[in-house]
Amino acid sequence: MDIAQHLANTLKSLRQARGWSLTFAAEQTGVSKAMLGQIERNESSPTVATLWKIATGFNVPFSVFLEAGSAPVRPVFDPQHREMVVVPLFPYDPRLRFDHFSIRLAPGALSESSAHDSGVIEHVVVISGALDMNIDGEWQTLLAGAGLKFHGDRPHAYRNSGADETHFHSLIHYPLTTA
């Protein structure tokens, strides 16, 4: 199954399992009813930022949309620009409550992330290149080998202002209230 079909099936299953209408799902996620319907019908592929909004609104780990059973599906990327590639390194662990991703940003790429669920903590470690991080409205640059721990329950952004690809890992810890 390709990633777009997996996303469509997962979104529809989550919504139906909760008994949510598309209108209610749009209210909970901040993603338009039209966009949610297009994703469910496999007519549109969401950006990584949109997928984060959906995961947060449904109160599920981000990797729920990236895994088919125990085997991860192909990497997720921003389909319009292919600026950000997200690959799950470890599937969501319900006992330890974390996701672990390998993320690559193309030169000039910017990914703005809305606030995740309350209590989410994110750890970022730069593998290669330089990563600009915006947290609480302040930009800081992390070089290869540097790491940063921050509260993911506030808006934040990742940017590659360099000429080469940036590669980093993101370890995301979810609070006990996350499914």
What's the pLDDT tens digit per position in 9-55?
Answer: 999 999 988 899 999 999 999 999 999 999 999 998 888 778 888 98
Residues 92-127: b if buried by 16+ CB within 10 A, e if exposed? beeeeebbbbebbbbeebebebeebbeebbbbbbbe
pLDDT of residue 88: 85
Q: Is pLDDT at 135 greater than 60 in this prediction? A: yes
Predicted TM-score of the model (pTM): 0.73
CATH tag for 83-173 (out of 3.40.120.10, 2.60.40.1220, 2.60.120.10, 3.40.190.10)? 2.60.120.10
What's the pLDDT tens digit per position in 146-173?
Answer: 999 999 989 899 999 999 999 999 999 9
Overall average pLDDT of the 102-123 stretch: 90
Q: Is pLDDT at 179 greater than 50 in this prediction? A: no
Rounded CA-CA distance 148/102 in Å is 15
Q: Is pLDDT at 66 greater than 80 in this prediction? A: no
pLDDT of residue 22: 93
Per the prediction, the chain carries an average pLDDT of 86
For the domain made up of 3-68, the CATH class stated in words is mainly alpha
Beta strand spans in 69-120 (E): 71-72, 76-77, 84-93, 98-105, 110-113
> Where exactly are the structural domains of the chain?
3-68, 83-173
